[in-house]
Each structure stands twice: as structure tokens, then as C-alpha cells.
Chains A and B, each alone.
Chain A
Amino acid sequence: MNEILKKRVLTPVTKEIVVSAPRIARKAQPGQFVILRVSEEGERIPLTIADFDREEGTVTLVYQEVGYTTRLLGKLETNDSIMDLAGPLGLPAELPEKGRVVAVGGGVGVAPLLPKCKELHRRGIELISIIGARSSDLVILEDEMRACSNELHICTDDGSRGFKGFVSDKLKQMFETGLNPDEVDEVIAIGPIPMMKATCAVTKEFGVKTWVSMNPIMVDGTGMCGACRVTVGGETKFACVDGPMFDGHLVDWDEAWRRANSYREQEHIANERCRCGGEH
């Protein structure tokens, strides 16, 4: 169970694995995530389901090797198994049946964005996608995104590819230069917290409803601990059961950012430790 069937290196720090998980694949819907653990001593971390195939019984996960656990995960190769894999968790994304949607993805956030875009495309929605990364070699899943989008815009912070600047800047530019906000039914923005925050600031200005996907620190992923608390519209929500998708205009971004960094020091200690092999 949980065997890695395929592994693909998307960028130097981003990997994609296709995992055999028939019972999760059978129920998975866009927007949902899994919780996994890679070793007996391992922590439990959430990863959004980037794709799933019910017939094949597989789920696809994309992760960036940023923390200790994602690095351990990066060590696993084809035919290795993930020790524990639980899901699908969270509420499926509520996607519109018709109309026009702008999908905005930053960095590794493009991965969780993809299953939603595929579903929107399947429903015949007109999809305008903006994806970005720090530089051109870090842009991921471009072909997959292009395949389901009517328009695809690429942005890089350093200008090495496409629009030079943040995805939020690109969106703003598009709203200012022709894309009529009134003709956009909603925006879906997924990526690092600062990117989602900036995108929401733009869409708020132009009055377009925006969904974001929160990825806070989690432990159980089933509503048991409250580690994943986010404040939405002044109310405390548990992202693992009430989300992970929320109305981005109502999220308390500063709190989310602060909570996401609760274990900065500990991460550092864990990363210093050499169980990873040390070549990172």
C-alpha cells in the first residue's frame, strides 16, 4: 500500500509522485488533501491532492523540499512506500457550473490549483490562468495548466520568463487593461501566504469573489487538535474540516502568516540534523 509508482522532478526543489492509494483515489475530489508520515519517528504533514485517477487507483502529490519531512519524502524513490497516508480530508472545493474563472497559482501552489482547473475545464468554464514562480526554472506544471486553460500567463519575479513581477501584479494589470472584473465570476488563488494575501488585495479592490486554499500547520487533519486554526470573517475555523478553501477576503492573513511560522526555530534544529544525508 502507498507505493510510489512514479516520481518526477519538476524543479530542483519540487517533486511530483504518483502514489498507489486506491481507497483515497476512489473518494478524492478537487480541493481535498492527505496527511502523511514517512517514518516511525516522523511528523504528520498535509499535502494537497494534485491529481487523482480513480481507475488506476492513484493520487498525485507535489511537494517542495522545504522542511524536514518533505526532504525525507524526497528521499523516497519509485517502489518505496509512504508509511502512513490518510485521506481524502477536508471539504471538496465548491466550483461554479458555468461562467468565467481566473486561476492564480504561485510557486508550488500551482499543484493544488491544477485539479480545480481540470474540473472547471471539464465543466466548460472559461479559464484564464496566471502562474508564477521566482524564476523560470521554478515554474511547474505549465503544460498541464495550459491544457485546461483558455489563456495561460506566466510570471517570474526576476523576469527570466514571461511577465516580470508577482502574479498579483499581473492580475492587477489585466484588470486595468481590458479584463472586465464584472465578467469574472470568481478568482481562485493558491500559493504562499504573501501571494494569496496580495492577490486578495487586488481582487478586493476590483470586487471579485476570491477563493483561497489554506495550508496551515496540521496534526491530525480531522478536527481533533485545532493546530490548523484560521480566523475567517472574525470567526475561528479549523482549516482541516471547515476548509481548506475559504473566502480570501475574510481571512486574517497576518495571523495565518504568524501561525505558519510558529516552529521556525524547531525547523531549523531539525534541518541541521543529518538524518537527511546532508547533501541538501
Chain B
Amino acid sequence: MALKKSRTEMPVQDPEVRKSNFDEVALGYTEEMALEEASRCLNCKKPFCVDGCPVSVRIPEFIKLITEKKYQEAINVVKSTNSLPAVCGRVCPQELQCESKCILGRRGEPVAIGRLERFVADWEMEHGNAEVPEIKPNGKKVAIVGAGPAGLTCAGDLARLGYDVTIFESLHEPGGVLIYGIPEFRLPKDIVRREVDYVKSLGVKIETSFIIGRTMTIEELFDNGFEAVFIGSGAGLPMFMRIPGENLNGVYSANEYLTRINLMKAYKFPEFDTPIVSGKKVAVVGAGNVAMDAVRCALRLGAEKAMIVYRRGREEMPARAEEIHHAEEEGVEFHLLTNPVQILGDEKGWVKGMECIRMELGEPDKSGRRRPVPIQGSEFVMDVDTVIMALGTSPNPILVQTTDGLDAHKWGGLITQSEAGRTTKSRVWAGGDAVTGSATVILAMGAGKAAAKNIHEYLESGKTDW
């Protein structure tokens, strides 16, 4: 069979239809499509793709199993290093990871590794049985702070090793950003719940509405017999621009906007009780995944104009390529090289406009990206009634404030002393966004895994030196 240069397209909901519903946009491969795409893989001896994967999924191996229609074996290979394949297949920035390294990418399009990962994960949900391994309890208690990808992964791995694991989660529902941040149309909540249920089936207990640092401190966890603590509390603190008008009615942090919609289901108001005021002309400031999610939610809540306002250029937008593409298809406007200066309110204190200034790219800054500089005198007013700030988030200071000996960098990230996530406090490990600042699901998961391994080594060794 001649090698196909381009990848097999994945069916998606029609943009005109999907922009007014919250159903999943990307529909996933059929078996035929998966077989066709899998057949493109060269099964390289030295697979570069694997180097690009933060958790080294054995990519050619699982793809080969797809071509042999051994789907259960394929998913088992993926799951041996990635505990959240149905999630990662949907939200990983593959174009920057595995797919960016695929050898086929040099001449044509790389193998659609993410779509194939999603295919086998979804196949298992439909046909397979996610087997629960036999577990021999070892009687040792470990506490996990936060039920996001980092915490869930760490908990799952430790439970398999026989630990008595409890996750403490401050919200009423586990899942972290997967539940409160990423919208249904990109990551159906049933999938997240299934992953959570699987972790529970391994014997992990989850205490919701339990805030470590408030309901109980880390020190008290040790007093209650926990021998190690893993912190996977994420980076939940929203940033604002500190410009005039930011506290007007109709200005949201992306976190608030998305939490109302995803966790609290405000898009189903009044069937659900939590309200949201999302206007007809919505500007989202920022261009990461969070911004794309927010702006696409705004469309679905009835915005006639949904706009991204970003101070740098197209090349610099940090969101996944697929999300930018989907947003464009749905009719989102991109106002690049544009930066808000102030938000204007009407006499009742609601947003009625946003003054912006145009930017141009100057000299490269420390990160190597060209620094945006304002063009003097280019101010103009955008006609908007809702503004959503998606400027990034930092870790919540509650844990550091309430735990002696747990140190953080100035910007809030917990200081770790090893790859495995040992913090400055004995027997406390950390990983995911709480350490790196907002990053990715796969990195958080990888950090949870590395910490689980190290916690096991430490507790197994019987050492008490740390």
C-alpha cells in the first residue's frame, strides 16, 4: 500500500451546529479510520515519537497492535505508562510532543498518535473491561492533596502497590481542572468520572469538600497516621491585569467563568441553580487553552461576537493548534497584537467597552519570544459587554501559609529538591501545576507517577532520615 502523506481526518461536529451546543466537538475515529491511520506508522526501530512523549508511551508498539486489531492489548500498552489515556488522547498538545518528533512529519503529516490513543481508550470504555489488579494491602497510609491529574495518578499508582490512600479535595467533585476548567465539548465529564471511578475501584478513598490547610493541616495528616503526603493542588489562583475597571460587573476571571459553566453547569441555568451573565459581545484576554475554552463557551452561551484579545502575534499563541483551529471554524475573532488598557463601565457599573492599545513585536525577551511593545497613540475602544481575563494562574498560597517548612518560590510554585518531587518538608512530595505553574495534564500525571515511585521506595526502605 502506498504511503499516505496526509493523516486520516477525524470527524467533527459541524461548526455551525456545534457552536451552540456543549456536546463533544471531535467525534473520534471509527475502527476503519483507526486501522487506516495506524497503517501509516513505520514502526521505527528508533522511534523519535517516544522521546517526545513526557511519559514515554511505547507508541509504535501500541499502534502495531491496532493494525492487528488487538485493541485490548494496545490499550494495555498505553496504560502501562499513561494512566489517563482517554483524557490525554483528547487534550495533550501532541503537535508539540510525540507528533512533532514523528519521522513522517519530515515529508508529510506525522502519524495522528493522539487520535489513535483516544481510539483505543474509547474502545476499552465501550468494549473492554478495565481490569482491577489484585492488590495486597501493606497497611501504610498515604494522603494526597488535590484530586486533579497529578493527585489521581499518584493515588492510583500507590493503591496498586498496596497503600491505603486517601485523596483530600477541596471542591465537591474530584477531577481538578478536568472537571472545573476544561469544558464538556472538549472533554466530556463522563470520561473524567470514569477515570475517577477507576481510581476508586483500586481502593482509593476520596474526601471531597475537604481543604487541606483549613479543614486539616498537613501536620495534622501526619498526626492522623499518614506516613507520606503528596501535594497535587494545582495552580488555581487567577491573575488579573490590574487595570482600571477590572472589578466592573461583567468582568470574570477565566477560572470563575469556566467553573460556573463546567463544575456548576451554569449553561443549564435555571435547571441548575448557578447563574452566569455572558453577554453578546465577549472579549477574552489571553490566547492559551484556557482562553480558547472560555471564548468557545461564550459562543455557546449566545455571544454574537466572541473575541480573543492577545498582546502578541499568531505564532506566539500558546493554545493547542487544534483548539485555535476549532475556535476559528466556529467564528471566533482574533484581535492579535492588541492589549487592554482599561475597561469602561456604564452608569450602572456594567462593562460597556474596553480600551485597547495596538502592539508591535520588538526585541526578543529572555524567553526568546519577541517582546510586544505598545504603539504610542494607537488606543481605541472595543465594543464589548463581557470581559474574561485568561492571563494565567499561580498556585494557591494556603498550603504554604499553613505548613511550617514547606517553601515556595516567590511566584508561588512549591520548591522541589528532586525529580521525584520531594519538597523542603520531610515526607511531603509535590507535583503537577503546584510545582510548575500552569502546564499540562500529561506533565502533572507524569509528576504524580514519579512521586508515587519515590514515595514507595522511601517507605519501603524503612528509612526515617527524611
Binding site for B on A (CB under 8 A): 23-24, 27, 35, 37, 39, 41-44, 68-69, 83-89, 219-220, 222-227, 229, 231, 236, 241, 255, 258-259, 262-263, 266-267, 269-270, 273
A86 contacts B172, CB within 8 Å? yes
For the complex with contacts A223-B397, A229-B247, 14 further pairs of A-B residues with Cβ separation under 8 Å are A23-B215, A42-B273, A43-B272, A84-B208, A86-B209, A86-B215, A88-B214, A219-B274, A220-B259, A225-B255, A226-B240, A236-B246, A266-B277, A267-B275
A246 nearest CB across to chain B (Å): 15
A43 contacts across to B, CB distance below 8 A: 264, 272-275
Given known contacts A84-B172, A270-B270, A27 and B216 CB-to-CB distance under 8 angstroms? yes
User: Quick one: CB contact mask for B270-294 with A, threshold 8 Å, 1 for yes?
Assistant: 1111110100000000000000000
Q: A41-B265, A84-B208, A270-B275 are known contacts. Are A224 and B236 too (CB-CB below 8 A)? A: yes
Closest A residue, CB atoms, query B268: A41
What residue of chain B has the Cβ atom nearest to residue A263's Cβ? B275
Contact A44 B240 (CB under 8 A): no
A-B pairs, top 8 by smallest CB distance, nearest first, are A266-B275, A225-B256, A86-B209, A258-B349, A43-B274, A84-B172, A226-B253, A224-B236
Chain B positions within 8 Å of A226 at CB level:
238, 240, 252-253, 255-256
A225 engages B253 (CB within 8 Å)? yes
Q: Of the candidates A27, A219, A222, A236, which one forms a contact with B247 in the assembled complex, judged by CB atoms under 8 Å apart?
A: A236
- Whose C-beta in chain A lies nearest to the C-beta of B173? A84
Contact partners of B214 in chain A: CB under 8 A: 27, 87-89, 222
Interface bits B207-230 vs A (CB < 8 Å: 1, else 0): 011110011100000000000000
Question: When A27-B216, A68-B273, A259-B247 are in contact, do A223 and B209 touch as well, CB less than 8 Å?
Answer: no
Does B259 lie within 8 Å of A224, measured CB to CB? yes
List the B side residues contacting A83 at CB < 8 Å: 172
Q: Which residues from 373 to 396 on chain B have a C-beta closer than 8 Å to any C-beta of chain A?
A: 396
With A41-B272, A223-B237 as given contacts, are A258 and B249 in contact (CB-CB < 8 Å)?
Answer: yes
A278 to chain B, nearest CB (A): 15
- Given A24-B215, A231-B247, A270-B275, A225 and B209 contact (CB-CB distance below 8 Å): no
| B interface size (C-beta, 8 A) | 39
Q: State the CA gap A241–B398 with chains docked (Å).
A: 8
A15 to chain B, nearest CB (A): 19
**Max count, chain A CB within 10 A of own CB: residue among B211, B216, B246, B348:** B211
- The answer to whether the Cβ of B425 comes within 8 Å of any Cβ in the partner chain is no
Measured CA separation A23–B236 after assembly (Å): 24
Contacting residues of chain B (240-264) with chain A, CB-CB under 8 angstroms: 240, 242, 246-247, 249, 252-253, 255-256, 259-260, 264
Assess whether A89 is in contact with B211, with CB atoms less than 8 Å apart: yes
Nearest-CB distance from A220 to chain B (Å)? 7
Residues of A within 8 A of B209 (CB): 35, 84-86
Q: How far, in angstroms, from A164 to B452 measured CA to CA in the complex? A: 66
Taken together as a complex, chains A and B put the C-alpha atoms of A25 and B398 apart, in Å, by: 19
Bound state CA distance, A231 and B245, in angstroms? 11
Residue of A nearest to B273 (CB): A43
In the bound complex, residues from chain A placing their C-beta under 8 Å from that of B256 are 219, 225-227
| CB-defined contacts of A85 to chain B, threshold 8 Å | 209
- Give, as a whole number of angstroms, the nearest-CB distance from A23 to chain B: 6
Give the complex CA separation of A128 and B252 in angstroms. 41
Q: Does B171 contact A (CB under 8 A)?
A: yes
Nearest residue in B to A271 (C-beta to C-beta)?
B270
Check A273–B398 contact: CB distance below 8 A. no
Bound CA–CA A231/B251 (angstroms): 14
B residues less than 8 Å from A227 (CB atoms): 256
Q: How far is the CA of A84 from the CA of B260 in the complex (A)?
A: 17
State which of B240, B270, B272 has its C-beta within 8 Å of the C-beta of A236: B240
A226 to B236, CA, bound (A): 11
**Most B CB atoms within 10 A — which of A24, A69, A224, A255?**
A224
Can you name the residue of chain A whose Cβ is closest to the Cβ of B170? Answer: A222
State which residues 84-110 of B face A: CB under 8 Å: none
Given A41-B272, A41-B273, A219-B259, A224-B238 contact (CB < 8 Å): yes
- How many Å lie between the Cα of A262 and that of B256 in the bound state? 14
CB distance from A38 to the nearest CB of B (A): 9
A270 to B266, CA, bound (A): 12
A223:B236 contact, CB within 8 angstroms: yes
Q: Name the distance in Å between A212's Cβ and chain B's nearest Cβ.
A: 18
Which B residue sits closest to A89, measured CB to CB?
A: B214
Least distance between A56 CB and chain B CB atoms (Å): 18
CA distance A225 to B237 in the complex (A): 7
- Chain B residues with Cβ below 8 Å from A255 are 247, 349
Q: Mark B148-173, 1 if CB is under 8 A from A, else 0.
A: 00000000000000000000001110
Given A226-B240, A263-B277, A270-B270: A44 and B264 interface contact (C-beta under 8 Å): yes
Tell me, rounded to whole Å, the shortest Cβ–Cβ distance linking A228 to chain B. 9
- In the complex the two chains form, is B349's CB within 8 Å of A69's CB? no
Q: Which residues of A contact B349 (CB under 8 A)?
A: 255, 258
* CB of B397 to closest CB in A, whole Å: 8
Q: Which residues of A contact B238 (CB under 8 A)?
A: 224-226
| 22 intermolecular pairs with C-beta atoms under 8 Å apart | A23-B210, A24-B215, A27-B216, A42-B273, A43-B275, A86-B211, A219-B259, A219-B260, A220-B170, A222-B214, A222-B396, A222-B398, A223-B396, A224-B259, A225-B238, A225-B256, A225-B259, A226-B253, A229-B247, A236-B246, A259-B249, A266-B269
